[in-house]
Structure 1
């Protein structure tokens, strides 16, 4: 398991442990507090026999659902608890709910972002819950069952003169950062290309594998703006108080609302029970309770979909 960056760990430790008297409550932007202790007392769901029966025998045989998460440490999606060992976050909670409905024991494997795709493609990881956006290219290899809207955010230092980033021209000539291999990278590169085609200054783009490294670069002035998943950014802004959000965007670009989804190997037979399990917990209210618990209630969807339209294919 990769260790959470020190900066993010300190931010996480300042958040509230609902049943952890040694921590100090911190209110998120959604008005909730966050338990960062190892005893999460997760919200649970009941097994639904009709859905559990649809799980492919090869996956159900060992009684477990092996779920992949990234170990890069990004509250509130997935990060280490106060014990520096237990992996917690909204993604683990949602995976637990789905495993419950499927009648399987939720087990997790923590790896790098890139290896989540490798693991799912090989079949080693039966599902991935890790803020993965549906894209047309990914649908060639994987199946998706959606569970959250995909919102991206622009983050700058609290004292930055930048007040709005809403269109390509707003980043012309700026020093910006984005995660490599992400859908937000594609959007950023499209914006930069539009600026170049319009005769504007190109952006100076830096890549950081870890969000904590991007934050350090932002706060030291090495970059002027960071473009990343809204949940990470909103949590950091609420807890850290030294940065601000100056714009948001759909993770699928200007013409489509991006969607975050559980990912599994294409045609392995698991996507339908994943989808039905998600719709079960959406209907019974446990899904909304999980999102609200992590301050992400505004990213809820009314219904899980299988393989909806995704981020368009890259040209070339």
Structure 2
């Protein structure tokens, strides 16, 4: 959930017009409504979404805001994180300001489907099923899924051992799907922090998440009562999903160009080191 450069909340609000605050429902609803109106108007008008974004001057980005180190609120309640800075850098390449809307994981895609957001930047892993519905950009991150259990748990040492066990993960996440594929019963939960609390309290048997998210948590909480016992062999590709269609074709191309520029100039590498302690912009 990240070594941090603080982004001024006031500057984001001044430039973007609105920023939802985690845990403040009235602010969140206002942000979602404002951003939703702007993006929905663009969707209704049809045409080229990139031109609409550039004419509007803002890129409406949806993320959770509660998944450290991808996007979260620091001690000053400023929205920070890898996805925040990556999307900010992409917006700069497009010549616009980012406008952030925070929502639960299972609402992010529904909001984009409805045209309330221009894109979701939230550590989204590319899967065959998701690719049927969305067009994905080139990856801006590569991660492995890790399996965590309490330190004194010796009965779960592999994903296969999840059969008949209980885990907790965000609904409809790849972590939930992977756990269920191995026979686990999954409890829906919103944040990694809550999940680890359930795990260390013994209320679930295990949980799955990005290895880098666990590393970051252990870096901040070195005495946390859990251990990592297994990892997926192949790296998952983290990319930005967009609605399919002619409307998003030029936006997809522009974001791909921006990501490659950010990879080439070392920005992605620097942000990876800053928030994960390692470069995640390369598969190797």
> Structure 2 length normalisation: TM-score?
0.76
What is the match of residue 142 of structure 1?
134
Q: Give per-residue Cα distances to partners, 1:180-239, cap 9 Å, x unaligned.
A: 2011222212211xxxxxxxxxx4433322322211111111112111222322211221
Shift of 1:127: 1.4
The one of 64, 83, 103 equivalent to 1:111 is: 103
Match of 2:240 in 1: 262
| 8 Å contact from structure 1 (residues 179, 228) kept in 2 | no
Q: 2:70 aligns with which of 66, 77, 84?
A: 77
Aligned partner (choices 208, 224, 229) of residue 246 of structure 1: 229
Q: Classify the secondary structure of the residue corresponding to 1:109.
A: strand
CA shift for structure 1 position 298: 4.0
Equivalent position of 2:174 in the other structure: 183
- What RMSD over aligned residues (CA atoms) do the two structures have, in Å? 2.5
Change (3 A) 1:118 1:175: closer
Change beyond 3 A, Cα 1:66–1:282: same
Give the CA deviation at 1:36: 7.0
Q: Which residue in 2 is equivalent to 1:46?
A: none
Which runs of structure 1 show a deviation greater than 4 angstroms over 4 or more consecutive aligned residues? 36-40
What is the distance in 2 between the residues matched to 1:186 and 1:82? 33
Residue 15 of structure 1 corresponds to which residue in structure 2?
A: none
Contact kept in structure 2, 1:234 and 1:245, CA below 8 Å? no
- TM-score normalized by structure 1? 0.69
Q: C-alpha separation between the residues in 2 aligned to 1:173 and 1:115? A: 28
Tell me if the contact between 2:215 and 2:276 (Cα under 8 Å) persists in the aligned partners: no
Counterpart for residue 153 of structure 1:
146
Instruction: Report which of the two has the higher share of helix.
Output: 2
| Post-superposition CA distance 1:152-193 (Å, at most 9, x none) | 111223x3233863341x22343332322011222212211x
Asked if residue 297 in structure 1 is aligned to residue 278 in structure 2, the reply is yes
Hey, what does 2:43 align to over in structure 1?
A: none
Give distance in 2, aligned partners of 1:275 and 1:113: 24
Gaps of 5+ in 2: 10-47
Q: Does 1:126 align with 2:118?
A: yes
- SS of residue in 2 equivalent to 1:59: helix
| Cα offset, 1:296, TM superposition | 5.0
> Number of residue pairs matched?
240
Give, in angstroms, the shift of residue 118 of structure 1: 1.7
Q: Distance in 1 between the 2:155 and 2:271 partners?
A: 32
CA drift at 1:244: 2.1
5+ long unaligned stretches in structure 1 = 1-7, 13-33, 41-53, 193-202, 251-255, 304-316
Q: 1:89 aligns with which of 81, 96, 99?
A: 81
Corresponding position: 1:219 with 2:197: no
- Between stretches 218-227 and 277-286, larger displacement belongs to 218-227
Is contact 2:169–2:189 with CA below 8 Å preserved after alignment?
Answer: yes
Alignment of 1:100 with 2:78, yes or no, is no
Contact 2:162 2:179 in 1 (8 A): no
| SS of residue paired to 2:204 | coil
Distance 2:96 2:199 in 1: 42
* Whole-Å separation in 1 of the counterparts to 2:187 and 2:50: 43
